[in-house]
Amino acid sequence: THTLHYGSGVFEGIRCYATSQGGAVFRLTDHIVRLFNSAKIFMIDVPFTVEDLVEATKETVRVNNVDECYIRPLVYLGYGEMGLNPLPAPVNVSIAVWPWGTYLGDDGIANGVRLKISSWQRHDPNAMPPAAKGTGMYINSSMAKVEAVKAGYDEAILLSPQGYVSECTGENIFIVRDGVMYTPDLTSALDGITRATVMQLASELGIKVVEKRITRDEVYIADEAFFTGTAAEVTPIRELDGRRIGNGARGPLTTRLQTLYFDQVHGRRKQYPEWLTLV
Ligand code: PPE
């Protein structure tokens, strides 16, 4: 297929969580809207509506009988004409679901993970669009991940072409200093739905969140650092490039936000009922 040859697909990563009322997909419509936005950026005409794919996602979870799962909608260019021009290729959509526990291990969620600044750079926005989740774009993340894992780390932070912290291979990053949270702006990072969720939860706690350019040394001397993603959820960072971050364990604010996040996705709080779609 065109997508297999050229990496021309777009995709989403979504989670469904068990709640007292059964399985509930977290921020489903927001994810499907982002999928359509990714497709728009690449000029892929998805032959379905947002509502179609919302319904198809719910049905896929239902018929697979999994309350807790990861969901992977994938828009790909199927069998058709070869060559760089994607326009003649048919547009297909698949949705897969599978049980997927913690992304970087239960110990990572509880005690934090160890990171390395990658020698690979994040995309220049005029080379690869940061707002899109394009399949081929992930070669960049995969190379950074391999480098980090081979060097004995759990994850990598990629710097933007300008040399500022952008994001991890599949997560947005936050640091905490003197009670204020900082996160990179979106000029070289994905507009993460977990990022937006955590920012909302922080505002509930009255915590100021600032989006700005962040240098690597600001992470070294942060009081706390953590990263967010659908797969990774809220994971503390305990070390970067051999420097212990804060007290070298899950920080107090990270712990509060993590608790709020897990309570939210499991439907244990009353706020934002619109974020949970029962299957
Ligand atoms: N940055 C990148 C590059 C990224 O891939 C993700 C999601 C995020 C930030 C966080 O976005 P959000 O999930 O909306 O909070 N990465 C997905 C892919 C993970 C994978 O291994 O595949 C995910 O978390 O589902």
Which residues, 6+ apart, have CB-to-CB distance to 52 below 8 Å? none
Distance CA 202, CA 211 (A): 13
Q: How far is the CA of 59 from the centre of ligand 1 (A)?
A: 23
Mutation pick for ligand 1 pocket among 149, 166, 174, 190 (CB with most ligand atoms within 8 Å): 190
Spacing, Cα 12 to ligand 1 middle (Å): 8
**What's residue 22's pLDDT?**
96
- Angle at CA of residue 117, ends 116 and 123, nearest 5°: 135
Q: CB–CB of 78/91 below 8 Å?
A: yes
Question: For every one of its 279 residues, what pLDDT tens digit does the chain have, with 9 covering 90 and above?
Answer: 999 999 999 999 999 999 999 999 999 999 999 999 999 999 999 999 999 999 999 999 999 999 899 999 999 999 888 899 999 999 999 999 999 999 999 999 999 999 999 999 999 999 999 999 999 999 999 999 999 999 999 999 999 999 999 999 999 999 999 999 999 999 989 999 999 999 999 999 999 999 999 999 999 999 999 999 999 999 999 999 999 999 999 999 999 999 999 999 999 999 999 999 999
Q: Fill in the DSSP letter of residue 252.
A: H
pLDDT at site 80: 85
Residues lining ligand 1, Cβ inside 6 A: 13, 141, 167, 170-172, 190, 192-195, 228-232
**Gyration radius of the chain's alpha carbons:** 19
* pLDDT value at residue 67: 86
- Catalytic-residue membership of 133: yes
Determine the Cα–Cα distance for residues 92 and 73; give it in Å rounded to an integer. Answer: 11
Q: How far is residue 133 from each of residues 14, 55, 91, 93, 175, measured CA to CA in Å?
A: 13, 21, 16, 15, 24
Taken as a whole, the chain contains a residue count of: 279
Options 133, 145, 150, 212, the catalytic residue: 133
The residue whose CB lies within 8 Å of the most ligand 1 atoms, and thus the one to mutate among 29, 171, 197, is: 171
Q: What is the pLDDT of residue 101?
A: 92
| CB count in 10 Å sphere of residue 90 | 13
Which atom of ligand 1 is least distant from the CA of 194?
15
Mutating to test ligand 1, I would choose from 121, 172, 264 the residue with most ligand atoms within 8 A of its C-beta, which is 172
The rounded Å distance from CA 81 to ligand 1 centre is 31
Please state, in angstroms and as integers, the Cα–Cα distance from residue 194 to each residue in 74, 86, 144, 184, following that order.
19, 31, 21, 14
